[in-house]
Amino acid sequence: MTIEVEQKALVTATFSRRMTVQLQQDNSVDARIKGKRLKPVCGDRVIVRPIPNEADWLITEVLPRDNELSRPNSRGQAEVLAANLTFLCVLVADPPQPDWFIVDRYLCAAELMQIAAAVIFNKLDIVPDGEALRDEMRVFNSIGYATVFCSAKSGENIRQVERLLSGQISIVVGQSGVGKSSLINRLVDDADQKTAAVSTASGEGRHTTVNSVMLQLADGGAVIDSPGVRDYAPATVSPGEVLTGFREIAEFGRSCRFANCHHLREPGCAVKTAVDEHAISARRYESYRRLLALSNRLAEKRPAR
């Protein structure tokens, strides 16, 4: 008799406490989780072992993470959505009307995870001229984020998206209905079924991805589809983290008179000057102030970590 021992695996789909994991031999199996305290997410490297006389495997351990992306659950508590990412892709479209604060918050999360990020404008086939949109996209580009205008429907510029994601472990995030699942279906053969499988169980009566699923890309790498339910933004971070999460503000902030400048009303603030001189986007600066205020409010409510 052969005794199958424990081995490393990769979590590739989660649905509440049920998971799909990819074993070292590359085959995917269903898995459950040992105990209540383990909380594996998509992208996690885990230890699994077979359960005698069952098709399911058991996840017994979550290995240390390189990074994690968190956002609030329905009770407002931060919950990890995915782990071990190398790239973050924020998708916007029109409709739904872009909420740039959500985009900025995701970019802030990417900065804190120390991974690269891109802003992708989808539904290029229906957006009329969109000068205002293009101006916003130009702002992201000017501070070093890759930007692409594409259409998951027509296929326009999908090659550019493929090139961005190639070899990366990415997550696609953004408001509900921007076309995350549609874009991933374009990028991955047979993704339809897999994204649909996690989409139908939401009970919200519409096609919504409620859990995360990771799909392999043909050119190497993988991409995670995430639910945009109720337009979640990432979990709120500490005030100190907000200060480093807006890269152009952090950059100009090095020239402020005071090293601990919060770039609000302090004298000699290089950030305020840069906003006045249009070297920093006033809209991005407003997002910064808004997120800092949110973060401060939360810090007051919570004991320090």
Ligand X SMILES: Nc1nc2c(ncn2[C@@H]2O[C@H](COP(=O)(O)OP(=O)(O)OP(=O)(O)O)[C@@H](O)[C@H]2O)c(=O)[nH]1
Binding positions for ligand X, rule: CB under 6 A: 122-123, 125-126, 151-153, 176-182, 207-209, 227-228
For residue 234, give both structure tokens: 């990432």
Residue choice 14, 122, 168, 181 for contact with Mg ion (CB under 5 A): 181
- Contact pick of 70, 84, 168, 209 for Mg ion (by CB under 5 A): 209
85 versus 172: smaller Cβ distance to ligand X: 172
Q: Which does 256 bind (CB under 5 to 8 A by kind): ligand X, Mg ion, Zn ion, none?
A: Zn ion
Residue 122 is a binding residue for Mg ion (CB under 5 A):
no
Report if residue 212 touches Mg ion, rule: CB under 5 A: no
Q: Identify the residue whose tokens are 């649905």.
A: 15
- Interatomic CA distance for residues 49 and 56, integer angstroms: 9
Closest distance of CB 224 from Mg ion, Å: 11
Number of other CB atoms surrounding residue 220 within 10 Å: 10
Q: Please state, in angstroms and rounded to a whole number, the distance separating the CA atoms of residues 174 and 293.
A: 22
What is the contact surface with Zn ion in residues (CB under 5 A)?
256, 261, 263, 269, 271
Gap between the Cα atoms of 45 and 33, Å rounded: 13
- Shortest Å distance, C-beta 279 to Zn ion: 13
Residue where the block lists tokens 């939360």: 298
Nearest approach, Cβ of residue 137 and ligand X (Å):
16
**Residue that the structure tokens 């072992």 belong to:** 49
From Mg ion, ligand X, Zn ion, none, interface partner of 126 (C-beta below 5 to 8 A by class): ligand X
Instruction: Decide: is 211 part of the binding site for Mg ion (CB under 5 A).
Output: no
> Using omega within 30 degrees of 0 as the cis cutoff, is the peptide bond preceding 234 cis?
no
Q: Which does 178 bind (CB under 5 to 8 A by kind): Mg ion, Zn ion, ligand X, none?
A: ligand X
Residue 86 or 181 with smaller CB distance to Mg ion: 181
Q: How far is the CB of 130 from Zn ion (least distance, A)?
A: 33
**CB 122 to ligand X: min, Å:** 5
Residue 21 and residue 25: Cα distance in Å, rounded? 11
Q: Which is nearer to ligand X, 122 or 236 (CB)?
A: 122
Q: Alpha-carbon distance 40 to 28, whole Å? A: 16
In the structure encoding, which two tokens stand for residue 133, read together? 């949109």
Q: Which residues contact 176 (CB under 8 A, 6 or more apart)?
A: 96, 208, 227, 228, 229, 230, 231
